[in-house]
Structure 1
């Protein structure tokens, strides 16, 4: 029986949760087939079985694992015969550091600039729910948060400077092959790609070339989900 991954879905089935993308890629890395269950962000009851109200949630038989990092460590510990998400104990600690860096230094800079675009990707109930969450968290309207984002995006580009420095010398953040640190940062760029027509990277940025390589992983898993710009053109 396949594992089941619960993740957010918006209009036209867009899978816009960056944290669910970390788990999607971790499962693909391990070569584990999954069944997907779409959840509306405003439907807290759908996740009540997990004892909390956030995605992703992985169900593996009788085991229920919420949280993308917990899912990654669960997969590593319970499926050690499959490709490692980390490499060894030292690399696992570094992957945890990378995930925390993304969550604390990268996400807070980019999400406010694109939040106004997220609400256009979901239905009315979810849009109201997300607008309330974002505006409460950031203390401004979504429109105010997006104002002047062409200038304010420079802070995001500075925030990812450590990744840029690494990617000038190696194909992936984890070295010759991608691993969980790559999935953590890529999840933010995949989220941006899916929810917004706004391009957060400058032309020629090494992070952009890396993003293209990440989109091609696992037979184009991430690329198979059309970008917001592509959906608009279609």
Structure 2
């Protein structure tokens, strides 16, 4: 097997949690490709594929190495055109770019606050020593400041999903009649918090909840194969 996905994990190598890595996992499964999942902790990332990237995911496909989840999707689409399409054409690729921008500008900042301390607690001591100061610098606030904002972010998170909720009343997937990479982008964000946090952000009966449940069942239940965080 020549295709390898390097993905981020905490102290438990069997619980990959990165939203960006989950996008790549689902893209590879969508294409029906066999791949090996290589668990990597935060402090090991600089050694992946000779330091090709400061972040994960990274894939190696034979002699090709590709970093960044969207670039990985682009690569898979170009390299394996005979496999099911991740975009359904140029318009779907443009849609995915918009969805990625919306997800990272609207959902991820809230999820960072909601799950920050719980992510920290899932890491090994060496990774914790890296994670805490790096995230405080990135967020511009201390862990204590983040904790004070957590309840408000949980309370307000459902409203951030309104555009998706309204759209899902008229079609089953962001991609239309079937899932595309745009679906995996939002799925990755919600799978992230599902795996690391005790916060429950989706209510039964919500179209987004129903869509997420369908996502978890895709590709032989790949997303659901890792249990949700206990709590």
CA contact (8 A) 1:172 1:210 kept: yes
Give the structure 2 partner of residue 28 of structure 1.
Answer: 29
Cα RMSD of the aligned pairs, angstroms, is: 1.5
Q: Distance between the aligned counterparts of 1:198 and 1:130, measured in 2?
A: 21
Q: Distance between the aligned counterparts of 2:55 and 2:12, measured in 1?
A: 21
Give the structure 2 partner of residue 2 of structure 1.
Answer: 2
Q: Distance between the aligned counterparts of 2:203 and 2:49, measured in 1?
A: 41
Determine helix, strand or coil for the equivalent of 2:223: coil
Determine helix, strand or coil for the equivalent of 1:147: helix
How far has the Cα of 1:148 moved from its partner?
5.0
Structure 2 length as normaliser, TM-score?
0.94
Q: Distance between the aligned counterparts of 2:62 and 2:151, measured in 1?
A: 47
CA deviations over 1:179-219 (Å, ceiling 9, x no partner): 11100001011000111111122443211111111111111
Q: Distance between the aligned counterparts of 1:71 and 1:145, measured in 2?
A: 32
Q: Distance between the aligned counterparts of 1:144 and 1:200, measured in 2?
A: 21
Give the structure 1 partner of residue 93 of structure 2.
Answer: 92
**Structure 2: gaps spanning 5 or more residues:** none
Q: Distance between the aligned counterparts of 1:200 and 1:136, measured in 2?
A: 26
Runs of 4+ off more than 4 Å: none
Q: Distance between the aligned counterparts of 2:163 and 2:120, measured in 1?
A: 30
CA contact (8 A) 2:136 2:143 kept: yes
CA contact (8 A) 1:112 1:142 kept: no
Bigger RCO of structures 1 and 2 (CA < 8 A, at least 6 apart): 2
Give the structure 1 partner of residue 120 of structure 2.
Answer: 119
Q: Distance between the aligned counterparts of 2:115 and 2:171, measured in 1?
A: 29
Q: Distance between the aligned counterparts of 1:23 and 1:48, measured in 2?
A: 17
Q: Distance between the aligned counterparts of 1:153 and 1:51, measured in 2?
A: 36
Q: Distance between the aligned counterparts of 2:165 and 2:56, measured in 1?
A: 29
Give the structure 2 partner of residue 12 of structure 1.
Answer: 12
Structure 1 residue 185 and structure 2 residue 189: aligned? no
Q: Distance between the aligned counterparts of 2:45 and 2:34, measured in 1?
A: 26
Q: Distance between the aligned counterparts of 1:72 and 1:152, measured in 2?
A: 30
Q: Distance between the aligned counterparts of 1:37 and 1:203, measured in 2?
A: 34
Deviates more, 1:3-12 or 1:70-79: 3-12
Q: Distance between the aligned counterparts of 1:202 and 1:30, measured in 2?
A: 31
Give the structure 1 partner of residue 171 of structure 2.
Answer: 170
Change (3 A) 1:145 1:203: farther
Deviates more, 1:69-78 or 1:124-133: 124-133
